[in-house]
Every structure is written in structure tokens, then in C-alpha cells.
Structure 1
Amino acid sequence: MKKMGEVYGPVVGTYVGPTQPIISVCGHEAIKEAMLNDDLSGRPELAIMMARTFGEGLGIMFVMGQFWQEQRRFTLRHLRDLGFGKTSIEDQMMGEVGDLIKDIENKSQSDPKKIADFKGIFQVSGINILWAIIAGERFQGHDPKFQELLGANELFFRTGKVFQSIFPIPVFLLKRLRFMRKFIGMKGELMEPIQKFIKKTIEDHRHRNMSDDEACDFIDVYLKEMNKQKAENPSTNFTEKQLISTIIDLFGAGAESTSGSIGFALIHLIRDQEVQQKMQMELDQISGEFFPTLNHRSSLPYTEAVLMEAQRCSSIAPLTVPHYAVKDTKLQGYAIPKGSLLSLNLYAVFQDSKYWKDPEVFRPERHLNDDGTKVIKSEHFNPFGIAALIKKFRFEPVPNEPLPSLDPTNGFTLGYQGFKAVVTPRP
């Protein structure tokens, strides 16, 4: 897509079959215009995504219209009420970071060369933070059912193919033609363990016999609303399948994006020891003997610049969720027919030499002002626990082995390859 954009311009139209337009959007201005155009804010009914949600258009990521507005509004309001996006959740986040640090310590101390394996290590913390809000409990990392769940989630994201998945293949063809499923990496049965796990959790919540004022997590408040609406309207959109689908959207995408971002950031810091040392010096100066918190964010410009640069160089989502033209419209002066699928290429923007000098180079300073005291054009980003890890440990390459690779593992999102590092506690 990036190469087509360099030849033909930022908006390139192609066809799948005789009638289905797919529009590739690569330039910064074109992507911004597309995002602001309500006529391009629809979501297509893609079979690969509907496989996650019982073959129906459910959840909050791949739906549109009044249904999406109603479900999204309810979900966001109650997630915020439960602490999501607020400093009130930070204590739990730091608790998970503490467990992660202990896990890394144990891995390092059990090896005579202090080498720790980081494959899949970050998913547990990310899922536990989400699951505490969704279901009011946390998992133990060694729980075999939890490990099975993590494996199914990872397999679903890694076997998918990010570009092929936007192809508008009818559901009945996917069910009948195995080569079609293989083409887009579809393994719908991989979602069954996750669906069953969530369904069992919902049943457990139902059996609590809670009163109206005892709702303490997202499942509780959703079940309460579902019962209320069913009494007034039997055809309500608040159903158990919709609840399961919403949790899958929050659970899968949230855990995957968090763990992937942390993994790539750590690989960049292992590969660039000078940047790691600068980050540690800033952390030591600002937070002293304690771990950094969100309150320190404005005083940690270099740390934030490192995290921004890691996301720019190694974005886990090279393409946005597919968009859909709900009516005939225009983009950058080009006619976009109703029914077109649009794929917005964030990777092309992050790697565009017009905006970034030497875009392939990892250089956090590009996000700072001249004296390095202020972040420039900061995007919202929650640093999670990576800063605490860098403050606690020194991460170095394994001697006599290649540096950890920045080449991603493909899928619906891009993941980091498993890697090892020498881990030593900092004094």
C-alpha cells in the first residue's frame, strides 16, 4: 500500500471482483480528512470479524449506526465509572507491574547467566488490568485455563492476515471453501474457548443474587441494564451475545495492543543501550528510589519521547479498523462511491520521510524541543509499566547472539517476536 501511494498518490482505488471498491489511504492529510468525514465512518460487515461474534454484527469495534452509538456510549460511561482511564486504577496497574517485576526477577535469578525469556510475558498483566474492571477478579499466571485462554487469543491474532482480512468475502463462502479461510487466516473455532470462558463468567455473576446497589464490575452493570431493558423491550440490543462480543473486543484488542507495545519498546531499549541509560538517568532524577507514576509524566519528557518513538517505529496496528463509505462522498478531491471499503495506512505516515527525517532510525529526540525539556506534539499514550521496568532493571543483549529482532510477527495486529535478554537489577 505504501509503495502504491508513492507511485499513484495518497488515495488509491482498486477493485475486488467487478463491483467492490477498496480504497488505500496513505498520506497524513488524506487520513486526517478521512477520519473527519462522517460519510466514511461506517464499518463493513466482514466475515472474519463476525466470526469472533457468533457470525453476527455485534460488539463495539466493527459495528456502526445507532446500535454502535448506544452500545459504545453505555460501555464507555460505565468503564469510566469503574475507574478505566482514571488515576484510581493506577494502584492496580502498579500492583500488576510489581508482579511482572517479580516474574522477571525469578526468570533472571534462575539462570546462571541472568538470561530471561520474554515471550508472552506481558499479556498476563494487561489482561488482568482489563479483567478486573470487566469481571472484578484477576488471574494467576500459572492457571492452566488462563494459559489456554492466552494461547487462543495469541493464536487468533497471529494467524490472521491484516490486509487480506478486509476483503469482502461472503460468510457462506468462508463456511464452505477452506482455501478462502486459509487466504485470510480465519480460524473461527479459535474464538470458542474465549466465548465459553466469558459465558461461564457471566453465569457465575448471575448466580451471585446481587442487589441493585452491589454492581461492582462491567458484567454486573451490563446484566442489570439487560434485565431492565428486556422487561421494557424484548427486542433490546442488550443481550448476552452482545455482552460477550463487547468483552471480546475489550479483552482481545486491549491485551494484544498493550503487550505488543511494551514488547517492542523493550526491544528498542535493548538494541540501544545509550537511550536506555538516558531514560534511567531521567527516571532516577525525577522519581528517586520509587517507581514513576502518571503524576510524574510531565517531568519525564525523555521517557515519554522514548515510548512515542517506539510506537512510531514499531506500530502494532499498521492499519486502522476498516472504514466504509455510507454514501457517495469525496476524499482529497477523488470520488468515493457508496459501499467502498477504506484501509487507512498509519504505517505509511509513521515512515514518511516528508515528516520524519531518517524514519527508519530510532531517535527519541525527534519528539522533544531543542533543549529536551518538553515533548512536542504529544499523542495520548499511557506508559503502563515499561518505565518501572527500566528503572528497576538493566536489560542487555545476550552475548554472542544476534540482537532481538524488530521484524514483527504478522496477524490482525503486529506482534513482537519472542526474545531473550540479560537482566540485572539496578542499584
Structure 2
Amino acid sequence: MEWPDPTSIFLVFVLTIIFIMKTQKFWNSSFREDFPPGPTPLPIIGNLHILDRKRPYWTLLELSKKYGPVFSIQMGCQKMVVLSGYKMVKEALVNQADAFAERPKIPVFEATSKGYGQPFEITTVLTGAVANIIVSILLGERLDYKDPTLLKLLSLISENARVLGSPSVTLYNIFPALGFLLKNYKTFLRNTSEMHSFIRLTFIECLKVLDKNDQRSFIDAFLVRQQEEKSNANGYFHNSNLIVLANNLFAAGMETSSTTLRWGLLLMMKYPKIQSKVQEEIASVIGSAQPRIEHRTKMPYTDAVVHEIQRFANILPMSLPHETTEDVTLKGYFIPKGTYIIPLLASVLRDESQWEKPDTFNPEHFLDSEGKFVKKEAFMPFSAGRRICAGENLAKMELFLFFTSLLQRFSFHPPPGVTASDLDLTPAIGITTPPMPYKLCAEPRS
């Protein structure tokens, strides 16, 4: 993030003061004495000074040790309530689902919703493979992995996922008036505009060959419904909704699954004994046949490994924010309607009361003493309640089939000169938490 000159700093200061004066919640008496406790905020910046700028969920995990499973934090002028640990996240998102069901208005989204044997980097090809599933749903066809359109889409979505987790976009969400100063915010707007332009041109092309008796894709189905309801001025099937919906499906459907799979291959290189055990089960159950989703129930160890990859990778540590729809009491604390809620999924997936070795990659978390797969209620990588990920079932199928197919055909090793102990499991930065960039060797299995 670039720092502006003194004149800009003064202007920012004036705008910030105006913003504060207009932000009624900051002075609002609705935050009563029984509002969840938290660190004392400073004027203007709130608790921003104590946050890890790149990985704020690390700070929230530490604060939960001090303040308990329900606490508050102030981002600028915005008070937020953080839910920590499996029991509290479940209590709010599942047991009191209606009260915690809303999404808050997040400024950055509001602004955009109008060679053999050689080491190689797997991100592009893996993301492209996952992306083509969404492309086939939306468009009814697949794109070649070298298609410039697909490569451009992957680039836009990857960059947006990175900048969304940057400190400057976090700053924008707290102080939207500062947007004109922030490079990453402008990058997000530009990339989203390009995505919208692509989607707009795509459904215009679909209109040219639209046949309501032969609906080939999601966009076809939407356009047919649009024509059927064109007399309804207040309907949902209008072009703006289609653009935003398709954009969200592209972004969510590509980034999360491919990020999880990249973690999976890194962890298989880190723990080669686990990789070998998965391959033994694949050979025993599937052999050389094409993996199918029906195989999953016969492959408890592989299923456990896929689940543990999701738990350990923790790719959405702060979930997506919620907002209370009404005044609500949680663990004796009063939380008013309209409060910004952070379900800290990192605290659930690493909850010491729910996982034997929460900080260790351990597939045994999902296996009983007889080696049978066991479900865990604290397994919440897709969140929970009314706002649970709409693509959960598709993602689960994708992860199992991709992971099984890859390990059926290849063994994955670090590049020459790199040992398993050298591999870094520190997450990178973004709205999701991908692994640091790495290269691997894929050795074909006979």
C-alpha cells in the first residue's frame, strides 16, 4: 500500500472526522454495559492498532483466550462481535440461526455489485480444471486450458482473492471515504468490471441462440425465466442480478476448491506415509477404474484425509461475516440488531475441545478405533446455519474426485534438493488462505 503525501493525509483526516460524526453507531447508546467485552478501542482507529494486518484471525484467536468465546472488537468506528469455538459458533449460527442470518453491507462488495519429472507450479492448471466445472454449469461448455478467456478469468479471480485479504481493502471497508487513495481497492474495482463485461457479453451471445426447449446451461435457464417474467417490474430475473450472480459463482466456485486441492498436494508431499496409505486404498478399492463419488463410502481413510485437508487448511478462517436480524442475547451478552458478526471458523477447526491434535495434520481425527469414517459436528469449513455455503455438496464431490484421481495417477514429491521437512505450511494472504507458492514433481504411477 502506497503512502500519500502530507496534503492527502490532511484530507484523509478531515474526511475521517466527517465520517465519524456521521456514524451514529459509534456514539449509539444501544451498546449497553452487557455488550460483549473486548479490548479498549482508540479514537478513530478503534482496535486496528492491535491487529495482525496480514492475518487478522491470528489476533482474534489470541483475543478469544483472554475474553472468551463471545467478545467484541472495533474496526474503526464499526463494532463487531466475534464468535469463537465450536460451541459458540453452533449456538449462534445453528441454534439461533434466524437471529444471526443476515449479511452486513461490506463496502468493497457494495461498490462492485451494481515437462516429465521436472518441478512445476500447479496453481494455474489446477484452478483451470476446477474452473471448468463452473464454466460448464454457467455456459454449458468447457474452455481449453490455454484459452485466453479462461486464463484471463483465472487471473482476475486470483488477484481479487488476494487483494480482498489485503490491509488496504480492510481499511476501505472500515473507512470507505478513503477508497480513492487505495491501490488495491481500485484494482478490485477494475477486475470486477472486467468480469462483469465478460459475463455481459456471454449472455448476449447466449441470447442469440436461446431455445427454451433446449436449455443447455445456467445462463440459458435464467434468460428463459427472464423472458417469462418480463412483465414483472419487481422480479429478480434481470440482467444486473445475472451479472452479479454469475460473478459470485465464478469467484466462489473456482478459488475455494482449487486452494483446498493445492493444500492437499502440499500436505501429501509433507507427509509421504499418508500419501502412500491413500494410494494403497485407491488401488484396493478402485484399481485402475475411473473414480466415482460412490467410491467414497468404501474409502474411509481417503475420505478422512480429504476432510482433514479441509480442516487443517482452514481456507476461510474468519468465514464470511454475518449480521444480526434482531436484538439477541448470547451467553448473557446483549447484541443489538444490525451488529456485524465474525464467526471465527479458525477457532472451530482448531478447537482443542473437539480435536485431539488441533494444530497437527492428522487424518485420525475422522476415524474411529476400527478405521471407519466418523462425522464431526465441529467440521465447519463451509460455515453453518442458514448461511452455509450453497456449493457445499458440489465442493465435496469435486474435492474427493480430483484428489483421488490425482493420487491414483501420480505420486507427488518436492523438487530435487528439497526435503519434506523444508516444505512451508505457513498460509499466504488473501480472502482465502492459500499455501505459499510451491513447485512439485509429479511421478506417474504404473
Q: Does 1:420 align with 2:439?
A: yes
Q: Does 1:159 align with 2:163?
A: yes
| Equivalent pair of 1:10/1:26 in contact (CA under 8 Å) | yes
Identify the residue that residue 150 of structure 1 maps to in structure 2.
Answer: 154
Q: Deviations over 1:21-53 (max 9, x none)?
A: 200111211101111221111111111112331
- Alignment partners' CA distance in 2, 1:187 and 1:44: 19
| Equivalent pair of 2:352/2:358 in contact (CA under 8 Å) | yes
Normalising by structure 2, we get a TM-score of 0.77
- Alignment partners' CA distance in 1, 2:173 and 2:273: 48
The aligned amino acid for 2:68 is G
- Alignment partners' CA distance in 1, 2:223 and 2:292: 34
- Alignment partners' CA distance in 2, 1:247 and 1:413: 19
Identify the residue that residue 215 of structure 1 maps to in structure 2.
Answer: 215
Between Structure 1 and Structure 2, how many residues are aligned? 365
- Alignment partners' CA distance in 1, 2:221 and 2:318: 33
| Equivalent pair of 1:131/1:137 in contact (CA under 8 Å) | yes
User: How far apart are residue 213 of structure 1 and its match?
Assistant: 1.1
| Equivalent pair of 1:162/1:413 in contact (CA under 8 Å) | no
User: How far apart are residue 212 of structure 1 and its match?
Assistant: 2.4
**Structure 1: stretches of 5+ with no match in the other structure:** 55-106
- Alignment partners' CA distance in 2, 1:312 and 1:340: 28
Identify the residue that residue 236 of structure 1 maps to in structure 2.
Answer: 235
SS of equivalent to 1:187: helix
Residues 240 and 309 (structure 1 numbering): CA distance in 2 closer, same or farther, change over 3 Å?
Answer: same
- Alignment partners' CA distance in 2, 1:262 and 1:288: 22
**Structure 2: stretches of 5+ with no match in the other structure:** 1-59, 380-392
The aligned amino acid for 2:101 is S
Q: Does 1:32 align with 2:90?
A: yes
Q: Deviations over 1:188-234 (max 9, x none)?
A: 111122111111110001111x3321222111111111122222x22
Residues 145 and 53 (structure 1 numbering): CA distance in 2 closer, same or farther, change over 3 Å?
Answer: same
| Equivalent pair of 2:164/2:170 in contact (CA under 8 Å) | no
User: How far apart are residue 413 of structure 1 and its match?
Assistant: 1.2
SS of equivalent to 2:401: coil
Q: Deviations over 1:306-327 (max 9, x none)?
A: 1111111112111221101122
Q: Any residues of structure 2 matched to 1:152-231 within 5 Å, and which? A: 152-161=156-165, 169=173, 173-175=177-179, 177-179=180-182, 187-208=188-209, 210-231=210-231
Q: Any residues of structure 2 matched to 1:364-375 within 5 Å, and which? A: 364-375=363-374
Out of 111, 124, 137, the residue aligned to residue 51 of structure 1 is 111
| Equivalent pair of 1:314/1:406 in contact (CA under 8 Å) | no
Identify the residue that residue 304 of structure 1 maps to in structure 2.
Answer: 303
Identify the residue that residue 388 of structure 1 maps to in structure 2.
Answer: 405
SS of equivalent to 2:74: strand
Q: Comparing both chains, which one has the higher relative contact order based on Cα–Cα distances under 8 Å and sequence gaps of 6 or more? A: 1
- Alignment partners' CA distance in 2, 1:331 and 1:165: 30
User: How far apart are residue 169 of structure 1 and its match?
Assistant: 4.1
The root-mean-square deviation of aligned C-alpha atoms, in Å, is 2.2
Identify the residue that residue 70 of structure 1 maps to in structure 2.
Answer: none
After TM superposition, the structure 1 stretch with the greater mean CA deviation from structure 2, 352-361 or 286-295, is 352-361
The aligned amino acid for 1:13 is S
| Equivalent pair of 1:46/1:168 in contact (CA under 8 Å) | no
User: How far apart are residue 277 of structure 1 and its match?
Assistant: 0.4
Q: Does 1:121 align with 2:181?
A: no
| Equivalent pair of 1:284/1:391 in contact (CA under 8 Å) | yes
Q: Does 1:397 align with 2:414?
A: yes
Identify the residue that residue 67 of structure 1 maps to in structure 2.
Answer: none
| Equivalent pair of 1:315/1:414 in contact (CA under 8 Å) | yes
- Alignment partners' CA distance in 1, 2:171 and 2:159: 21
The aligned amino acid for 2:407 is I
Q: Deviations over 1:160-179 (max 9, x none)?
A: 1278867784896154x414
